[in-house]
Structure 1
Amino acid sequence: MSAPGKYRATVYHAGPRNPSPTPAVNTAPSVPSALPTRAALLMAASATLFGVMAIAIRYASRQQHPFEIGFFRCFFGALFALPLLRVHGLEILRTRRLGFYLVRCGVGIVSMMCGFWALVHLPLAQAVALSYSTPLFITIGAVLVLGEVVRMRRWSAVIAGFIGVLVIVRPTATDFSSATLVALLAAAISGMVTISIKYLSRTDPPDRIVLLTTLLWVPLSLPPALAVWKWPTLEVWPWLVLSGALGTGGHYCWTRALKMAEASALAPLSYLQFIVVGFLAWALFGELIDGYTLFGAAIVISASLYIARREAQVARQQLAEPVVAKGEPQV
Structure 2
Amino acid sequence: MAISCTIYFVMEIFADVFSVQSIPLLEAAFTRRTLILVLSFVWLRKCEQPVSGLATVKNLLISRALTGYISLMCFIYCIQRLPLSQAIVLSFTTPIMASVVARIILHEKYKIADVGGLVCSFFGVLFIYRQMLTTQDKNGGKNTSVRGSSYIFAVLAGLLSSITGGISYCLTKAGSKASDQPLLTVFSFGLLASPASGVCLFAVEEFVFPNLYSFSVMLVLGVLAFFAEVFLARGLQLEKTGKVANVIYMEAALSQLWGIGSSRIALSLGRIIGCVLILISVSCTMYIGPDKDTA
1 CA distance for matches of 2:159 and 2:240?
26
**Aligned positions of 1:299-314 closer than 5 A:** 299-303=277-281, 306=284, 309-312=288-291
Partner of 1:220: 196
1 CA distance for matches of 2:253 and 2:125?
18
Number of corresponding residues = 271
Q: Select which of 81, 91, 106 maps to 2:66.
A: 106
Unpaired stretches in structure 2, ≥5 consecutive residues:
145-153
Partner of 1:239: 217
Partner of 1:53: 11
Tell me whether 1:175 sits opposite 2:151 in the alignment.
no
On the 8 A contact 1:130/1:165 being kept in 2, the answer is no
Residues 53, 185 of structure 1: alpha-carbon distance in 2 compared, 3 angstrom cutoff: farther
1 CA distance for matches of 2:135 and 2:263?
23
CA-based RMSD of the aligned residues comes to 4.3
Partner of 2:206: 229
Tell me whether 1:286 sits opposite 2:281 in the alignment.
no
Which range moves more in the overlay, 288-297 or 201-210?
288-297
Residues 143-181 of structure 1, C-alpha deviations (whole Å, 9 max, x = no match):
333344445444444444444344344397132677996
Matched letter for residue 213 of structure 1: F
Aligned-pair identity (%) = 18
1 CA distance for matches of 2:275 and 2:258?
17
On the 8 A contact 1:74/1:217 being kept in 2, the answer is yes
Unpaired stretches in structure 1, ≥5 consecutive residues:
1-5, 7-42, 320-331
1 CA distance for matches of 2:160 and 2:172?
19
Q: Select which of 87, 97, 103 maps to 1:143.
A: 103
1 CA distance for matches of 2:12 and 2:206?
21
**Aligned positions of 1:58-77 closer than 5 A:** 62-77=21-36
Partner of 1:203: 178
On the 8 A contact 1:136/1:161 being kept in 2, the answer is no
Residues 11-31 of structure 1, C-alpha deviations (whole Å, 9 max, x = no match):
xxxxxxxxxxxxxxxxxxxxx
After TM superposition, give the deviation of residue 141 of structure 1 in Å.
1.8
Partner of 2:148: none
On the 8 A contact 1:133/1:300 being kept in 2, the answer is no
Residues 268-320 of structure 1, C-alpha deviations (whole Å, 9 max, x = no match):
9876645653465467783346442342343345445556654328x59xx9x
On the 8 A contact 1:74/1:218 being kept in 2, the answer is yes
After TM superposition, give the deviation of residue 237 of structure 1 in Å.
1.5
2 CA distance for matches of 1:150 and 1:260?
16
Which range moves more in the overlay, 49-58 or 74-83?
49-58
1 CA distance for matches of 2:235 and 2:270?
32
After TM superposition, give the deviation of residue 63 of structure 1 in Å.
1.4
Larger fraction in helix = 2
Matched letter for residue 65 of structure 1: P
On the 8 A contact 2:173/2:237 being kept in 1, the answer is no
Matched letter for residue 49 of structure 1: I
Which protein has the larger Cα radius of gyration, Structure 1 or Structure 2? Answer: 1
When normalised by structure 1's length, the TM-score is 0.62
Residues 90, 157 of structure 1: alpha-carbon distance in 2 compared, 3 angstrom cutoff: closer
